[in-house]
Structure 1
Amino acid sequence: MSKAKENLAEQVIDLCNLVAYQSGSIVSRMLVYTKAGTITVFAFDAGEGLSEHTAPYDAILQVLDGEALITIADKEYPMKAGELIIMPAKIPHAVHATTPFKMMLTMIHA
């Protein structure tokens, strides 16, 4: 049985409370999925991460809570809550949570 998509339009959303930390896991929740792009919120337990990969589109990573080490083309960027970084399309990147860490990822489909 398929689940109906949740319509979050015209709602005030508390991003930090949208996904909960789970021990040893990465939790995600997609907020927007359109031809123009996607917005997804993630919660990573400390030590969890996304291994190096590429994406066909630019991605904007905004740290909501905690700290992470973001790697883009072998250059490391330590990041904390309130910061964001743009990960260019087709460039290898990775995400590693150094503490429990929440982020919002916006993919721009061009």
Structure 2
Amino acid sequence: MGDTKKLGVAFPVEEAIKYADDSVVSQTLLNKDTGTITLFAFDEGQGLSEHTAPFEAVVLILDGQAKITIGGESLNVGAGEMVIMPANVPHALQAEQKFKMLLTMIRGE
């Protein structure tokens, strides 16, 4: 989306990405050597299987509710809530209902 990638321009973040049936949609807003900021929209029943990342990541739920599993512990995280996921710990996300999130990955120590 044109304006969402321009620096210094305000935009409604929740409206910057749309749900798609039976899909996970993503849009990278910023991709730098120091980290990334990515929007996601998960349709109900969709998810990301368990994986690890070498960097800490911040998940902010914008709409709906996500089931986030970190190191075997499950959390139900709703709109307006944030989780900081530790580096090198297995985690997964599941949409028991559709949700949108903003993922900020921070590279480095």
Q: Structures share a fold, TM > 0.5? A: yes
1:1-80, aligned counterparts within 5 Å? 7-80=5-78
CA shift in 2, pair 1:24/1:37, >3 Å: same
Question: Shift in Å at residue 15 of structure 1?
Answer: 1.0
CA distance in 2: counterparts of 1:47 and 1:35, whole angstroms: 33
> RMSD in angstroms over aligned alpha carbons?
1.0
CA distance in 1: counterparts of 2:95 and 2:6, whole angstroms: 27
Unaligned 5+ runs, structure 1? 1-5
CA distance in 1: counterparts of 2:93 and 2:5, whole angstroms: 29
Considering fraction of residues, name the structure with more helix.
Answer: 2
| Stretches of 4+ aligned residues off by more than 6 angstroms | none
Unaligned 5+ runs, structure 2? none
Alignment-derived partner of residue 89 in structure 2: 91
TM-score where L is the length of structure 1: 0.93
Share of identical aligned residues, percent? 46
Asked whether the equivalents of residues 5 and 30 of structure 2 are also in contact (C-alpha less than 8 Å), the reply is: no
TM-score where L is the length of structure 2: 0.94
> 3-state SS of the aligned residue for 1:66?
strand
Alignment-derived partner of residue 3 in structure 1: none
